[in-house]
Amino acid sequence: MSGRPAKYSLFLCLCASALAQAQVTFTGTTSDDAFLATGSPSNPKGTNLTALNFGLGGVLLVASAASTNGEFQSVLKFNLSGATSLFHTSYGTGWTISGISIELTSNVGTAGTQPDNPLFNPVCGGNFVIQWLADDNWVEGSGRPNFPATDGVTYSSLSNLLAGGHEILCTNTYSPPGNNVHQTWSLPLQEGLLQDIADGRAVSLRLYAADDQINYLFNSHNFGNGNEPLIHITAAPLPKILSGHLANGFFHLVGIGAANTSYEVQASPDLATTNWQTLGTTTAADTGEIQFDDIATTNQPQRFYRITR
């Protein structure tokens, strides 16, 4: 109606306030980890190590079945209850995961180096797979390279772990970087992995060779020396409108979301409708701040806004 000011409502608006922290990162080391070995005729421990546990080995390894000393795989378990607690404290229930990575480091990371224990193969680059496991009901065990045990996860028990849900997350190339050089591997935001985080459960990962070249040795949490395996999980608030005001003939929106992420700004004259119109896109700043100008607000009797991806 002529002469009446338009009304502008902020969908999911709390109030005008200072921006909350755009994102937070949880970092934690493994609660359990172990390497699994097959053995070989050249392995000083024997030709069949499949039923032996090496949970307190101090190192984790990935090598193919073609390796001189036999195949090595590794399993890692991270307790994520601290991550969920951190994100709930920061954002309540309104958060989403924006990034996940693991960090692996070796104090024996130079190509061609023979580790002190002849059980292991010389260090060599190659490709390896990171796989998510649904089954977290395995234990690290007490076995050591020189004193194997049978009280924890073994190569033979892999079939039990793989009987549950599992999914390949990524295949990575390892190039030995030298000793004590930290390397970070990004993980895709896969459904099972995200659900583990949302539920505050443990997450289990399996690492194994993707070619016949790789001999990758890295520190376990039992022999970390600052090089223990780490998981980094970054969360950001769900996109949210914080404030809005008329300025120079248009309506200016301020919101918050994940840093450097693109969002759509949508509008509707009626909350009861599902017909939301996309007004445009905007990218959150490094701080997570979202700003958008609705330049088509003239003669709008009422308008609701929302921010979405």
Over the stretch 93-131, which tens digit does the pLDDT of each residue have?
889 998 999 999 999 999 999 999 999 999 999 999 999
Q: Can you name the CATH fold of 7-22+239-308?
A: Immunoglobulin-like (2.60.40)
pLDDT above 90 as % of the chain = 72
Beta carbons within 8 Å of 299's beta carbon, 6+ residues apart: 6
**Virtual CA dihedral for 280, 259, 236, 80, nearest 10 degrees?**
140
The pLDDT score that the predictor gives to residue 4 is 39
| Alpha-carbon 68 to chain mean position | 33
The pLDDT score that the predictor gives to residue 21 is 61
The pLDDT score that the predictor gives to residue 16 is 30
| Nearest Cα to Cα of residue 111 among 184, 215, 205, 265 | 215
The pLDDT score that the predictor gives to residue 108 is 95
End-to-end CA distance of the chain: 34
| C-alpha–C-alpha distance, residues 158 and 49, integer Å | 13
The pLDDT score that the predictor gives to residue 298 is 58
The pLDDT score that the predictor gives to residue 2 is 35
The pLDDT score that the predictor gives to residue 107 is 94
Q: Over range 243-261, report the average pLDDT.
A: 86
The pLDDT score that the predictor gives to residue 6 is 46
The pLDDT score that the predictor gives to residue 237 is 87
Mean pLDDT of the chain: 90
Q: For the segment 21-37, what is each residue's pLDDT rounded down to a tens digit? A: 678 999 999 999 999 99
| Nearest Cα to Cα of residue 144 among 32, 30, 34, 31 | 34
Burial class for 80, CB neighbours closer than 10 Å (0-12, 13-18, 19+): buried
The pLDDT score that the predictor gives to residue 269 is 85
The pLDDT score that the predictor gives to residue 12 is 41
Per-position b or e across 82-121, b if 16+ CB within 10 A of its CB: ebbebbeebbeeebbbbebebbbbbbbbeeebebebebbb
HSE toward the beta carbon, residue 298, CA cutoff 13 A = 4
Q: How far is CA 302 from CA 1, 2, 156, 202, in A?
A: 11, 13, 66, 48
The pLDDT score that the predictor gives to residue 300 is 65
Q: For the segment 132-147, what is each residue's pLDDT rounded down to a tens digit? A: 999 999 999 999 999 9
pLDDT at residue 1 above 50? no
The pLDDT score that the predictor gives to residue 109 is 96
Q: For the segment 255-291, what is each residue's pLDDT rounded down to a tens digit? A: 888 888 899 999 888 888 778 999 999 999 988 899 9
